[in-house]
């Protein structure tokens, strides 16, 4: 049994499906927001944006004059018979993830850039190596949303490690952050690397730093502690506040302090961390572990 502070109620663990968010969201149209409506869509901005929203066929188009990673737009789309996974239409028609929660008759998406959205009915991937994994439901949900991909078409690599570039891409895609090119790091080629925009987005938000002021080390592996820091900072960046905490059960976290301790407590309180005797913060995190942490964090922030 987890030790609890007084009046603490922990958020329950995700079940087999992540279709229902961890926290309950009773959606009400905010009256103090700038907004624009189309027949099946309403776009809100808390930042006074000038919004241009339109529908054409199965495409929902949103443009605003002050969209960036600090000033997101909230998009309410009524399904009206539409089905599938909401995604962004990127360059050359490629479909990419968008952060949203599903309320059955509608979806509430959060975007940090101008976007064209549509419901996608592509068949999901099935990974042979996740059937007996405790992370199966999290991996499946993130895969269906297009947030994570397997090492191959039928193998996720649930026990493999992750690199700094890969985690940067996962967080940027999962939270729909706008990619930002960076020239700060000598080992990140803004023109040729596939991860430059992801690294730039997170670096601009203070979520990830370089190993030095000029070296990012994109192929360096991520430890469990580093993953906790990045996810905790991401939740800070989207203004998530955890008001209820539980006593950490780990025997090896006595030396955690400051920011690291705070984010560890937050992620444990929302059940993003496994319940083990030890946290082992300096061990490399696995793809399965990070899938759970990411899925639970997205739900806690109202984006899954």
pLDDT, one tens digit for every residue, the chain (304 residues): 444 333 333 333 333 333 333 333 444 555 556 789 999 999 999 888 889 999 999 999 999 998 889 999 999 999 998 899 999 999 888 999 999 999 999 999 999 999 999 999 999 889 999 998 999 999 999 999 999 999 999 999 999 999 999 999 999 999 999 999 888 999 999 888 999 999 999 999 999 999 999 999 999 999 999 999 999 999 999 999 998 888 999 999 888 999 999 999 999 999 999 999 999 999 999 999 999 999 999 999 999 9
The reported pLDDT for the residue numbered 4 is 36
Contact, 163 vs 221, CB < 8 A? yes
Looking up tokens 């999290």, which residue turns up?
138
How many whole angstroms separate alpha carbon 185 and alpha carbon 200? 9
Tell me how far apart the alpha carbons of residues 282 and 61 are, in angstroms, rounded to a whole number: 44
Separation CA 87–CA 90 (nearest Å)? 9
The position carrying tokens 């040729």 is: 192
CA distance 86 to 97: 8
**Residue 130 DSSP code:** G
Question: What is the spatial distance between Cα 44 and Cα 29, in angstroms, rounded to a whole number?
Answer: 9
Quote the pLDDT of residue 31: 52
pLDDT at 8: 33
Cα separation, 196 vs 168, whole angstroms:
9
| pTM (two decimals) | 0.87
Cα–Cα distance, 218 to 21 (Å, whole number): 32
Give just the sign of the alpha carbon dihedral 257, 258, 262, 264. negative
| pLDDT for position 22 | 32
Q: Where are the alpha helices (DSSP H) in 238-304?
A: 258-269, 287-300
Domain boundaries, the chain: 34-120, 128-300
């Amino acid at each position: 049994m987890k030790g609890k502070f007084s009046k603490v109620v922990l958020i329950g663990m995700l079940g087999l499906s992540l279709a229902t968010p961890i926290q309950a969201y009773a959606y009400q149209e905010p009256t103090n927001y700038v907004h624009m409506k189309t027949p099946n869509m309403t776009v809100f901005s808390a930042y006074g944006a000038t919004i241009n929203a339109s529908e054409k066929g199965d495409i929902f188009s949103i443009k605003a004059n002050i969209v960036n990673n600090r000033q997101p737009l909230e998009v309410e789309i009524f399904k009206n018979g539409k089905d599938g996974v909401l995604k962004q239409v990127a360059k050359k028609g490629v479909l990419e993830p968008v952060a949203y929660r599903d309320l059955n008759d509608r979806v509430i998406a959060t975007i940090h850039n101008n976007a064209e959205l549509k419901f996608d009915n592509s068949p999901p991937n099935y990974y042979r190596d996740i059937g007996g994994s405790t992370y199966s439901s999290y991996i499946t949900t993130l895969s269906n949303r297009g947030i994570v991909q397997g090492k191959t078409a039928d193998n996720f690599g649930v026990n493999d490690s992750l690199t700094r570039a890969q985690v940067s891409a996962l967080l940027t895609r999962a939270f729909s952050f706008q990619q930002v090119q960076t020239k700060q790091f000598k080992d990140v080629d803004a023109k040729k690397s596939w991860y430059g925009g992801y690294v730039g987005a997170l670096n601009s938000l203070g979520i990830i730093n370089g190993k030095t002021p000029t070296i990012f080390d994109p192929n360096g592996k991520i430890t469990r502690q580093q993953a906790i820091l990045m996810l905790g900072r991401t939740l800070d960046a989207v203004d998530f506040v955890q008001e209820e905490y539980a006593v950490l059960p780990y025997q090896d976290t006595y030396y955690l302090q400051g920011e690291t301790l705070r984010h560890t407590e937050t992620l444990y309180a929302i059940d993003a961390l496994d319940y083990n005797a030890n946290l082992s913060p300096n061990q490399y995190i696995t793809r399965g572990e990070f899938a759970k942490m990411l899925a639970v964090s997205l739900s806690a922030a109202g984006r899954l």
